[in-house]
Amino acid sequence: MKKLNIICFISHAVARSIMLLTVLMALPLGAAAQDDVLVVTPTRSMFTLDIGYASIHDSYLTPITYDGIDLELAYEASRLCKQGHWQWQLNVGADYNYVENPAKNNDLQKVMGNLSFAMQHRWANAVGGKVSLSVGPMTQLRAGIVYNAVNSNNPVTVRAHWNVGAAANADFFTRLGRKPITLRYRLQLPMVGAFFAPEYDESYYEIYLGNHRNLAHLGWWGNRFDMTHYLGAEVRLGGTIVSLGYRTRFEHWHVNNLKVHDVTHAVVIGIGADLITSHH
């Protein structure tokens, strides 16, 4: 009983913190007008932690595929727009991979930052009120480095991508026993964009000297493919939403005779809240 109280206390404290943060962010909107009808719009605000498996192949650094652990911390927020037919979705996160070669005598480390924003059309109460679907355009910025400590003049490679594409959500509302539960599937599918890649054996020293030819590339499904899937379940514990899911990210590109092929599979633990903000 004591343990349960502590858990409840912690979950409420986290929920209150998230709520305060989001209310502060949304305050200017609420204060904009005084005379209109008050519209209450919940903002889904979640912090997630991914823990799982990563596989990295980057032919600029090594011809060998490395594998190891994947960690990611992210913040997700989504909110319905005024009419309720559209919603925006924001994701900010950072992921870290520590992977080893099959011989277990060398490692790579990858650190990436991720920012994406999607505007989705929403069909609520589809399929007899049990399903909510949303689909729309998305833009994504991912940037970071992959580092190989033992290489001589190719110890690091920079990853930088900007993409536009589609993002989709499917929420299925059901019960597990007497407990309401939401099963959620989420897809991020970049389609076109721009990305950075050095030439085949071009050193970053040469780039530093000023040779910037052929570094920026148009990305499309012919040379770059990237998608992220998430499948999870959400339950409410008081005012707190707790989620457990699985996320996989697949990233492949080939340009300048270089190949990158990264895959992650991770268990995702999330905690957050539906925060009530209002606008007129």
Partner 1 sequence: MISFLIYHFTHRTVAHCAVMLQAIKKVVPVVHCCLSCLLLVCVLGGCAQQDEFERDQVGNFEALWTIMDEHYSFFDYKQVDWNEVHSRYRALVSNEMTDRELFDVCGDMLKELRDGHTNLIASHDVSRYWVWEQWPVNYNERLIDQHYLNFDYKRASGIKYQILPDNFGYMYYGSFSSVIGEGNLDLILSYLSTADGLIIDVRDNGGGYLTNVETLVSRFIGEKTLAGYICHKTGKGHNDLSEPYAYYFEPTKNHIHYLKPVVVLASRGSFSATNNFVSIMKSLGQVTIVGDTTGGGCGLPFTSELPNGWRVRFSSCPIMDAQGRLTEFGVAPDVRVDMDEDDHTHDAILDTAIGILARATAPPRLPRRGNSAPPHHSDN
Which residues bind to partner 1, rule: CB under 8 A? 57, 59, 62-65, 101-106, 130-131, 150-154, 170, 172, 174-177, 181, 183, 185, 187, 199-203, 205-206, 209-211, 213, 225, 227, 229, 231, 248, 250, 252, 256-257, 259, 261, 263
Element (H, E) at 7: helix 2-30
- Smallest distance, partner 1 to C-beta of residue 62, A: 5
User: Could you tell me which of 197, 236, 173, 188 has the C-alpha nearest to residue 74?
Assistant: 188
DSSP codes of every residue in 108-135: EEEEEEEEEEEEEEEEEEHHHHTEEEEE
What's the gap between Cα 202 and its chain centre? 31
For partner 1, which is the closer residue by CB, 71 or 187? 187
- Smallest distance, partner 1 to C-beta of residue 199, A: 5
User: Could you tell me which of 44, 7, 20, 8 has the C-alpha nearest to residue 270?
Assistant: 44
For partner 1, which is the closer residue by CB, 41 or 59? 59
For partner 1, which is the closer residue by CB, 164 or 176? 176
- Provide the strand spans (E) within 1-104: 39-58, 66-80, 86-100
- Smallest distance, partner 1 to C-beta of residue 251, A: 10
For partner 1, which is the closer residue by CB, 79 or 184? 184
Phi, psi torsion values for 59, nearest 5 degrees: -70, -15
Element (H, E) at 20: helix 2-30
For partner 1, which is the closer residue by CB, 20 or 201? 201
Secondary structure class of 21 (helix, strand, coil)? helix
- Smallest distance, partner 1 to C-beta of residue 176, A: 6
For partner 1, which is the closer residue by CB, 11 or 228? 228
- Smallest distance, partner 1 to C-beta of residue 172, A: 5
- Smallest distance, partner 1 to C-beta of residue 192, A: 18
**Residue 53 structure tokens:** 């498996």
The CA dihedral of 167, 84, 271, 137, to the nearest 10 degrees, is 10
